[in-house]
Structure 1
């Protein structure tokens, strides 16, 4: 595999498993060092081992929307590896399901804080600590639910639509030194998305032109491309990674 990220360091949030881990794994395979975050220390420790140990990866446990956790993670990453060249905002939550008109407003606020404000704050922290002076790349993990209405997960979709706008605004403001892009997956086979396909995977996949659900590695590969110099003339873009689902009118 090409070593596109030799000598570079990334922070990947929500990376103890699923899409975040697959992104971190791909970056390490291409030469990067990573700091991964999640809430549970034990899961992070296992992920660090799987990524090659402390020479390739370090972990920072905490809530993604906790500013003190963000600041500590940035400091820890710089102490361990000396730079923060890449940031992947992968952490996202969706604790509610049902019509938006019935959504619990406290839950909606939490979704907004984690999916939108926390992502913005991570960019602020890394920009002030490293990228503002040295440059860098950012990828935000959005969702096809933010591209068009998604009944049942409407407020989650609204938060991801806002994340896409934040991506575009930051791309305009931070260029040329920092590129900011986003990926929008459809259903990917992770613990986070289990309720969307468990017990009915074949039925769900039948709506996709490629006739399968996504795998975390599918998102890892596209994210690595956006972070690399192969995407050096791309910024402010949302890359839909959905097996063709949105072409059929689905979400």
Structure 2
């Protein structure tokens, strides 16, 4: 077996001030990697980096700000000597309700952050380092990109686009750069609060593994995907949902019966 040893490698994690992004940064650092955490402000980025044990710095860079993203990538190479890993984690969902009820502003923000930003950051790290030296990219999608849900169709549409683009970039950037995506289910984060807050027990019961996810559940999977243990994996979408997509778990558990 290949250990998840990231010693000597450097990762950029976007949207890493809290939740899944921060947990990913902590997991990469725990595996020996250097980590650059981005956030909308320098203060938030510094505060997040202070929560990482290991070699970590924070950089204020909004995910869709091309100039700030370019500066971040350049700083990463200057400071650590490489950028071997990119985790496009930043995400947002300002568009709630039916798709046809959304305005252009909410559409643009949803797709700019969830779709354009991963393309932007991937292009920058490819140009700066990975194109010549190789590397691994992980995009944070969602199981929403694989299913239909009421009221979050715009967000799910953006994540579906990201899933498609993950496969596209995996081919375009092969063989030097591996590109994969994760598709988390309901996780205890601020972004996903509307899906579990005040109804956690009911949501947990409906999931095969009987709980909602924690940021660390996602982070461990990402650490695997960017390591040599996943060296022959590219263009894949790793669903991490505790069995949520399998169906309503209580209907299938031992002892359950259905009247016909």
TM-score, length-normalised on structure 2?
0.92
1:5 alignment partner in structure 2: 6
- State whether residues 114 and 158 of structure 2, in contact with CA within 8 Å, keep that contact through their aligned partners in structure 1: yes
Aligned-pair CA distance for 1:249? 6.8
Q: Which runs of 5+ in 2 are unaligned?
A: 250-260
- State whether residues 3 and 29 of structure 1, in contact with CA within 8 Å, keep that contact through their aligned partners in structure 2: no
How far apart in 1 are the matches of 2:109 and 2:94? 9
| CA shift in 2, pair 1:249/1:161, >3 Å | farther
Equivalent position SS for 2:181: strand
- State whether residues 48 and 58 of structure 1, in contact with CA within 8 Å, keep that contact through their aligned partners in structure 2: yes
Aligned-pair CA distance for 1:149? 1.0
1:135-162 Cα deviation digits (max 9, x unpaired): 0000000000000112111010000000
- 4+ runs of 1 displaced by more than 6 Å? none
1:181-240 Cα deviation digits (max 9, x unpaired): 000001100111112111110011111011100000000011111101111111000000
Q: Which runs of 5+ in 1 are unaligned?
A: none
Superposition pairs of residues 75-114 of structure 1, within 5 angstroms: 75-114=74-113
Aligned-pair CA distance for 1:25? 0.3
1:115 alignment partner in structure 2: 114
Q: How many residues align?
A: 247
Aligned-pair CA distance for 1:96? 2.1
| CA shift in 2, pair 1:152/1:19, >3 Å | same
How far apart in 2 are the matches of 1:146 and 1:60? 29
How far apart in 2 are the matches of 1:179 and 1:3? 16
How far apart in 1 are the matches of 2:248 and 2:117? 31
Aligned Cα RMSD in Å? 1.3
Equivalent position SS for 1:34: strand
Aligned-pair CA distance for 1:51? 1.0
Computing the radius of gyration over CA atoms, which structure comes out larger, 1 or 2?
Answer: 2
TM-score, length-normalised on structure 1?
0.95
How far apart in 2 are the matches of 1:57 and 1:76? 13
2:217 alignment partner in structure 1: 218
Superposition pairs of residues 94-243 of structure 1, within 5 angstroms: 94-243=93-242
